[in-house]
Amino acid sequence: MSFVTLGRPIAALATADPLDDVVAGLRAARADWRSSHQRHSSAGTARFPSRVALAFMLEHLEAALFPQRLGHFEGTSEDVFVRLRLDQALAILGDEVARELRYWEVEAGDDFDPGHGATIIRLFAAALPEIRRLIDSDVAAAFQGDPAARSVDEILICYPCALAVMYHRFAHQLYQLGAPLVARLISEIANGRTGIDIHPGATIGPSFFIDHGTGVVIGETAIIGARVRLYQHVTLGARRLPPEQGHGVRERFARHPIVEDDVVIYAGATILGRVTIGQGATVGGNVWVTEDVPAGGLVMQPPALSFPADTKPALFPEG
């Protein structure tokens, strides 16, 4: 006598590997996806850029830029320390950029120049002194803008905005140099650590400060000027894509806000589309903006009503 469970004899279940069906099902799912996307082989792509490897790279890179405060340097020669950490960072970055370029070669069906990856790394390294100066301006803006901060050192080593904007400075440079996947992974590492989501394509001027920061979203084509301050849960986003842009290869177009110099945007504000927030304007909390704001303008919700303690307005009758 044999018992049957879900179409199989119990004796067969005792000897069968329960993962066989799962493996077969996953193979079928992969085949369906590759067929629908016209991908029949992954040859040429050893693996995609690694988030884990890039996280290690960022630790070396921030130590090279800030050897004492972030690198914990103790010694007699900062230059030797900086060179060592830069060598380690750029070696890892070079490997991850090379993997990304192999991916794009497979996607495009064409080959890059053999020295293309090395050129990206060389130009990125050359930009690091200017990136360091931009980060210094961001840290100074945060210290000036937050009376709770006791020192610029506290800003750099403790504040989520300092890490998020520093990683954005790295990612934006790589994005411009032609490594968008590596750049996007760096931005997602920052997002995971801080809750601040800045697309690496966004252009951000000096002295940028995000106060508190959790929930801030800045889209790919946003342009932000100098000395801009945002608060938590601000969105610089895009309107919904037209139906023809929803699938397949998408045309790149400017769809996020322009925020000019010296603008302040308070918590919870949502600004959508290619609108311009003029120089020196203030956008109040929890507002929805889809039109231009003039220079020096103020956008805010209607003021809340208040009444004396011994008065109850007719709007709220007894009962």
pLDDT tens, the chain, 319 aa long: 444 555 555 555 555 688 989 999 998 998 888 888 777 555 545 578 999 999 999 999 999 999 999 999 988 899 999 999 999 999 999 999 999 999 888 877 788 888 999 999 999 999 999 999 999 999 999 999 999 999 999 999 999 999 999 999 999 999 999 999 999 999 999 999 999 999 999 999 999 999 999 999 999 999 999 999 999 999 999 988 766 555 555 567 899 999 999 999 999 999 999 999 999 999 999 999 999 999 999 999 888 777 676 765 554 444 4
Count Cβ neighbours within 10 Å for each residue of 134-171 and write b for 16 or more, e otherwise: bbbbbbebbbebbeebeebebbbeebbbbbbbbbbbbb
Report the predicted TM-score, pTM, of the whole model to 2 decimal places: 0.85
Residues 49 and 182 in one domain: yes
- Residue 186 bridge partners (DSSP): none
Side-by-side strand order, sheet with 298-299: 209-210, 229-230, 264-265, 282-283, 298-299
In a domain, 37, yes or no: no
What is the Cα Rg of the chain in Å? 26
Tokens encoding 318 = 């007894």
Asked if residue 159 belongs to a domain, the reply is yes
* 104 plus 229 within the same structural domain: no
> In the chain, how many domains are there?
2
Domain that holds residue 274: 215-241+254-301
In a domain, 23, yes or no: no
Note whether 82 and 126 are same-domain residues: yes
How far the first Cα of the chain sits from its last, in Å, is 76
- Same domain assignment for residues 170 and 219: no
Do 185 and 118 belong together in one domain? Answer: yes
288/277 Cα distance (integer angstroms): 13
Helix (H) or strand (E) holding 121: helix 116-145
55 lies in the same domain as 172: yes
Q: Rounded to 5 degrees, what angle do the CA atoms 87, 177, 271 make? A: 120
Retrieve residue 172's tokens: 């934006």
67 and 147 share one domain: yes
Are 111 and 220 found together in one domain? no
CATH number at residue 104: 1.10.3130.10
Is position 232 within any domain? yes
Q: Are residues 154 and 189 part of one domain?
A: yes
Kindly state whether residues 292 and 229 are assigned to the same domain.
yes
Considering the domain architecture, whether residues 264 and 123 belong to the same structural domain is answered as: no
Give the C-alpha separation, 220 to 256, whole Å: 7
CATH of the domain at 266: 2.160.10.10
